[in-house]
Amino acid sequence: MNIKQKSIKELEVLCQEIREEILRVVSKNGGHLSSTLGATEIIVAMHKVFDSKKDPFIFDVSHQSYAHKLLTDRWEEFDTLRQFGGTCGYTKPSESEHDYFVAGHSSTSISLGVGAAKAIALKGEQNSRIPVIMIGDGSMTAGMVYEAMNELGDRKYPMIIILNDNEMSIAKPIGALSRMLSSAMASPFYQKFKKHTENFVDNFGEGAHYIAKRMEESLKLITPGMLFEEMGINYIGPVDGHNLTQLIDIMQTARKLNQPVIIHAQTLKGKGYDIAEGKEEKWHGVGPFNLSNGHSSKKSSTKSATQIYTEALMHLAKNDEKIVGATAAMPSGTGLSELMEAYPTRFWDVAIAEQHAVTSMSALAKEGFKPFCTIYSTFLQRGYDQIIHDTCLMDLPVVFALDRAGIVGEDGETHQGVFDISFLRAIPNMTLFAPRDEKSFHQALGFAAEYQHPCSLRYPRGSFTETDLPESVAFELAKSQLLRSNEGNILFIGYGNGVGRAYETAEILNVKVSILDLRFVKPLDTEMLRDMASKHKKWFVFSDSSKMGGVGSAILEFLAHEKILDVAVESFEYEDEFITHGNTKLVEESLGLLPAQLAKKVEALS
């Protein structure tokens, strides 16, 4: 869609049409809502001033990029947002040439911008291209942002960074005076005057330069831009993030500076949808809902794994004041919000800072507390060095509770929780285990609360696989549970949510199989596995995890170590590829992992 020639009034009408389309599709498909509604005018202004085919458009996390998708020839396809085989909920270069980079995790945008700016400089394209970044203030809580700005302020690469401040966390104390001063600072006159003044003062020596600098800084003390200016990055703002005229003028001014510039734009979350306006976490990411009243379209009577985690940890925390915990900007998503309300001095949201969450919890463990570090599987990847260096090297009893392990559905490649077993299993002192249902989850957390070494347990998004499983017994270190024992050659080994899938698959088969809930993938129940090897020669592994380095790998390593050569192992874990977005069942079907599909594979291999 070419908007270069459109008037402000036409662009304002376009913003309304974009919001209506976002609301229509997200209410049907689910997705990110409040932030992307609030970012509409910013994105329209970006496309008015810059060229997304030529200028790298980089969206942090990119959950706010829906308007960008609609403006870049995806209006017709937008109806398939987050659906299997449809438009991705995040930027994706394979989907469009207007999407510069894959994004789904927070706080990478400025680093990407610095890298793009270096490439542009090396190619000699600085007169025709400039990186344009949009980042939300939530993403500004992660250290990687400041690492990037530290270099940017030193190197002075031309770059436009638009800070979408949609919760007023930065600008709240500022007030009308600051907005007036910032508008003045954004004008071409001020920028030109500032440059001439600097040249003039340079002729009068260090003393005059010092006085002029202090006068400028005294003005900036009442603006939020002092930090950025001190880092060597020009600051403009705060500006009204819904005023197209102002946004376009300021972006044009910033581009002419040929320097790194931060434009601080204030927006209203949920802008254009009264029910969501101003709400923070509730309307950030939503499932399908009724557009007229905002009520959820999908209601499940089945308790989610996250709800079970909340209940179990709440019970433990009530009876043991040494239990503490942290999450990294996902209090509701990880089930920690209730504990933060009940025990505000013992449970913390540390913002988008997984590294800090891990290391700070390690120090609490050193001081005799029992920390539960509660993070999505996909986000724990960001704290890997800290797990090794600050937790496991010291052998500290931190519990890593990994929500959304396995396929997470519509969020796709960047969010699938498939790698945690593979990367945690390699770390000395780390213990890995997983519950299979509600009762075993309570028992697993009870074990974790008493365990005096680093450990990790994983659980799925949504509910556990619904099937009638045998009664769970208490967790003991490196002890599995044999759920079904039958004569014959076949053994199903389930881990975590894979136990339910193993049971469902067994019910379809015409042959009898034994079923083992592995429980611990590190350390393994070697005694039980030796016994199973003497009875069953064909083993099938069921786990929501990557095949490389996963549960099947652990079992094969055990068999090789024991020199057990007559057992064949087939793993139904995920292959060595990134897994697409879409409804979980459709994704699993595409991977051949539905019980009916697995039953056919077992029959063919038996």
Identify whether 523 is preceded by a cis peptide bond (ω within 30 of 0).
Answer: yes
The active-site residue out of 129, 269, 425, 547 is 269
106 is in an annotated binding site: yes
Whole-angstrom distance, CA of residue 204 vs CA of residue 216: 17
**H helices present in 99-169, as ranges:** 109-123, 143-155
Pairing of strands 431-433, 520-522: antiparallel
The active-site residue out of 41, 354, 573, 588 is 354
User: Which residue, 502, 521, 515, is CA-closest to 431?
Assistant: 521
**H helices present in 156-303, as ranges:** 175-186, 188-202, 205-220, 226-230, 244-257
* Catalytic residue check, 354: yes
105 is in an annotated binding site: yes
Whole-angstrom distance, CA of residue 500 vs CA of residue 506: 10
356 is in an annotated binding site: no
* Catalytic residue check, 269: yes
DSSP class of 388: I
The active-site residue out of 48, 346, 382, 404 is 382
489 is in an annotated binding site: no
Q: What is the DSSP string of 275-313?
A: TTTT--STTTEE-SB-TTT--BS---SSPPHHHHHHHHH
104 is in an annotated binding site: yes
- Degrees to nearest 5, angle at CA 542 with 541 and 543: 120
139 is in an annotated binding site: yes
User: Which residue, 534, 472, 567, 455, is CA-closest to 555?
Assistant: 567
CA dihedral 529, 534, 538, 539 (to 10 degrees): -10
63 is in an annotated binding site: yes
Which residues are bridge partners to 266 per DSSP?
165, 240
Backbone angles phi, psi at 226, to 5 degrees: -60, -45
In terms of residues, how long is the chain? Answer: 606
Identify whether 238 is preceded by a cis peptide bond (ω within 30 of 0).
Answer: yes
Whole-angstrom distance, CA of residue 146 vs CA of residue 261: 15
**Sequence ranges of the binding site for thiamine diphosphate:** 63, 104-106, 138-139, 166, 273, 354
**Sequence ranges of the binding site:** 63, 104-106, 137-139, 166, 273, 354
Active site residues: 269, 354, 382
**Sequence ranges of the binding site for Mg(2+):** 137, 166
